[in-house]
Amino acid sequence: MNDREQNAGRSRTVKVGEVRIGGKNPLVMVAGPCVIESREMCLDLARALRRLSRRLDIPFIFKASYDKANRTSLRSYRGPGLAEGLEILSEVRERVGVPVVTDVHSEQEVPAAARAVDMIQIPAFLCRQTDLLMAAGESGCAVNVKKGQFMAPWDMAHVVEKVRSSGNRRILLTERGASFGYNALVADMRSLPILRRTGCPVVFDCTHSVQAPGGAGSATGGDRRWAPVLARGAVAGGFCDAVFMETHRRPEQALSDAANSIPLNELSRLWRQLKVIRDALAAVR
């Protein structure tokens, strides 16, 4: 990539609640539990993350799923479901005062989700589903599309075109690792500047990038030790507008993504490091 291509790669600004992502705006953190385990847990974690974001002066969006439709095993915990889950997320948004993002799995879920959250997220394994993408765009919410593990980054331009066809230009793209043989992913940092060529803000998902899909037999495995390393590398590359990470007070007890969620008490140091890296890059541009 030459200098001209790099300079043309600045993203547009997308507003999610009161948070602005992309352009010359500060690095944004998107964090929360993989799945809603209870109302109390969700509110507690959201409040703790809000306090951290305010103390470090880092914009923050809360993430949690009401249903994990792609669990490895039929017996795995999926979440409270659409109605109860969206009620909890709406309460987080109103009582904690932070923007909220959640996954949707079908176009039928979109209208209800759009009333409860600020940004709709398309899971990686559904990123080519035309009807779902267009329904998300038509909702009027910001739309975050996770790049499928099976997708080349340049092919995400077609995904963006589908959402934009609805008239919605509030689109973000997330890199979350690519399939690297069975039960393994690899994070290709070249994806970030390639995704940025679409003009959309780019998010790096550092915790799903260290997953081992199905690697624990009846569950997804992973190695959370590498998540901070990848997050720092993504921000240092200069094409990352937000970092997505799943967190939990006791990750070993999490009901989903236990192996790759980052302990809440380790986030302060990591968020400070990422902010310093982003600020250092901005100072020399």
Domain ranges for the chain: 26-280
What would you report as the CA-atom Rg of the chain, rounded to the nearest whole angstrom?
A: 17
The angle at the Cα of 200, spanning 166 to 184, to the nearest 5 degrees, equals: 105
Longest dimension (CA), the chain: 51
Cα atoms in the 13 Å half-sphere on the side-chain side of 35 = 20
Nearest to 169 by CA among 203, 141, 129, 132: 141
Relative orientation angle of helices 39-56 and 82-91, to the nearest 10 degrees: 30
In 51-116, beta strands by DSSP E: 60-63, 100-103
Q: Would you state the pLDDT for residue 9?
A: 67
Residue 235 to residue 203: CA distance in whole angstroms: 10
- Reported as a single tens digit per residue, the pLDDT across 78-127 is 999 999 999 999 999 999 999 999 999 999 999 999 999 999 999 999 99
Strand 221-222 vs strand 178-179: parallel, antiparallel, or unpaired? Answer: unpaired
Q: What is the dihedral of CA 88, 49, 258, 79, to 10 degrees?
A: 10
**Percent of the chain having pLDDT more than 70?**
94
Q: CA separation (Å) from 210 to 54, 111, 186, 214, 246?
A: 28, 32, 8, 13, 11
Convert the pLDDT of each residue in 217-229 to its tens digit.
566 778 999 999 9
Summarize pLDDT for 39-85 with one digit per residue, the tens.
999 999 999 999 999 999 999 999 999 998 876 677 788 999 999 99
C-beta atoms surrounding 94 within 10 Å: 11
Burial of residue 54 (CB within 10 Å: 0-12, 13-18, 19+) is exposed
Distance separating alpha carbons of residues 125 and 127, to the nearest angstrom: 6
User: Among 101, 110, 157, 99, which Cα is nearest to 132's?
Assistant: 110
The answer for residues whose C-beta is within 8 angstroms of residue 206's C-beta and 6 or more apart is: 227, 228, 230, 231, 234, 243, 244, 245
Report whether CATH 3.40.50.2300 matches the domain 26-280. no
Mean pLDDT score across all residues of the chain? 93
Best CA proximity match to 144, nearest among 161, 124, 130: 124
Output the pTM of the full model.
0.94
Identity of residue 24: K
